[in-house]
Chains A and B, each alone.
Chain A
Amino acid sequence: MSDATCAHADHVLKIDGLHVHYGAICALHDVSLALNCGTAVALIGGNGAGKSTLMKRMVGLVPPSTGRVIWRGQPVTRSTHEIAYLPQRADINWDFPMTVRGVVEMGRYPLLGPWTPFAKKDHDAVDAALATMRIEDLAARQIGALSGGQQQRALIARALAQEAHVLLLDEPFAGLDPPAQNLLAGLLRDLASSGHLVLAAHHDLTTVEAIFDEVVLLNRRLIAKGPSATTLTQSNLTQAFGAPV
């Protein structure tokens, strides 16, 4: 999957000795791993395994705890437009009175700041993001009028307009019908091929190998990380889910 010619294939996102606690509850214990741009990685584990917590910690949505997140060799201490987090679709107000284009345009705000007006390159970036996610024809549609798969692609297009290198997706396939899943899977693979790091919390074990190059198995601690084809062993899955799968 990795493409040596792509823009940021040599970038690495590292997690180093990460612990996260919610009060007395340990959500993540001593997680360390390195993820390369240019790969699609599935984050797999049962409910409460810490998948969402890990992604939220990477972007600062969970209060800082021990351990570090290191991006391109530097500890992440403040938000960066290069790492984008996409919440679960259920966490978005889809009645929000905004078109698809409006949502994607919001991805440019971190780059432009509060006052810099949109220039041609910003409009071009929005057009390119819409085209990459194949939603150009839906640009004028209100976001609530989209199907689940289209909504997910609109959120990813917003992240692309933001010029994110890393896409953290929380259950992107949840609630999608098979055609929408296939389309989204193909697009995520295309994004990985073009040099992005795609990290997605994922539940459907039957589709992991077809979509993702690597898997990270999590059960509050790191169980295993490696190529999808060789890492999804019965032993690893049992440890990740706490029961035979």
Chain B
Amino acid sequence: MNVISDMMAYEFNQRALLAAVMIGFLNGYVGGYVVLRRGALFAGSLSHTLFPGVALGALIAGLNPYSALLGAFLTAMVIGLGSQSVSANSRIDRDAALAILYTAASAVGILILKKTTTNVRVEEYLFGNILGIGDWDLWFMCVAGVLVLSVLILLQRPLLIFVFSRDIAATQGIRIRLMDYLLAAVVVVTMVTSLQAVGTLLAIGLLVAPAATLYLYLDSPRAILWGGGALGVVLAVASVVVSNVANVQTGPVMVILLAVCFLLGFTCSPRYGLLAVLRAKRVPQDR
């Protein structure tokens, strides 16, 4: 308890823990839809557009939290929704369209970095810095989080049918293209919200790992959504504490903890873990 009370004596730690709670829950919940939709590859590719976006924002308006977030948001949104639009209006699938668009964005980002003198500070956005969170960042997380969660909770039923079967959803009057755009947009907002805390490289881990871990334990999409949020909070807060004690960066600790948690589930989940699957395969052979 001394560790916690010592940490809480510092305002930047208080802000870091509050940020961990907010982005942990938001990412865990939104990640539930990413995993249920089998869209982790899409989200991962989309996360690569964040960094060029930060660079673009820095080029246009100088590097500050506003330009970085706005640049990342607009770039990811244009590329995310653009790839949806390309796949909706051609034979090209969404992942192929995104691969082309995000590599193009990365190339532009590299050229921009070569032309600017802000390389070092821009690169801080690769891994994030949760201890540098300001009041403005907290407000941004709070407002964006409430907005995203409200939309997802209000539209939970059509979204669940959509991620279960696009055909069934379409026959029930659900506008599946709109759902595609909506999920792409909430993924972008969620990753941008986490940018300051975990950075562009690690954002996808925090988004996908909690729900993917629970996918190995649970047979209820709602439990995965809410449980993903709860697991995200626990692991994000734990990583702030661990990184504080060990005096290392929080972002990498967070993603390593998430990966350990996932690997535990992958091996030890009583129903869908590797050991359970191997045990189940062995039983018929023994008979």
Chain A contact residues, CB within 8 Å of chain B: 59-61, 78-79, 81, 83-85, 87, 91-93, 96-99, 102-103, 106, 109-110, 112-115, 142, 158, 162
Contacts and interface: CB of A to CB of B under 8 A. Distances in A.
Interface string B79-101: 00000000000000000000000
Nearest to A96: B164
Interface of B: 36, 38, 154-158, 160-161, 163-165, 167-168, 170-173, 215, 218-221, 224
Given A78-B173, A85-B167, A92-B165, A106 B160 contact: yes
Contacts of B161: 106, 109
Contacts of A162: 172
A79 B172 contact: yes
B154 A115 contact: yes
Contact of B36 (A79, A91, A97, A103): A97
A110 to B, nearest CB: 5
Nearest to B222: A102
Contacts of B38: 93
15 contacts: A59-B171, A79-B172, A85-B168, A96-B163, A96-B164, A98-B219, A98-B220, A99-B219, A102-B220, A102-B221, A106-B157, A106-B164, A109-B158, A109-B161, A113-B157
Contacts of B173: 78-79, 110
Nearest to B216: A97
A180 B83 CA distance: 43
> What 4 A-B pairs have minimum CB-CB distances, sorted nearest first?
A79-B173, A59-B171, A142-B219, A87-B167
Main secondary structure on B side of the interface with A: helix
A91 B171 CA distance: 14
B164 A84 contact: no
A123 to B, nearest CB: 16
A11 to B, nearest CB: 18
Contact of B164 (A93, A99, A112): A93
B220 A99 contact: yes
Contacts of B171: 59-61, 79, 83-85
A155 B220 CA distance: 17
Nearest to A155: B168
A83 B154 CA distance: 26
Given A79-B171, A106-B164, A114 B158 contact: yes
B215 A114 contact: no
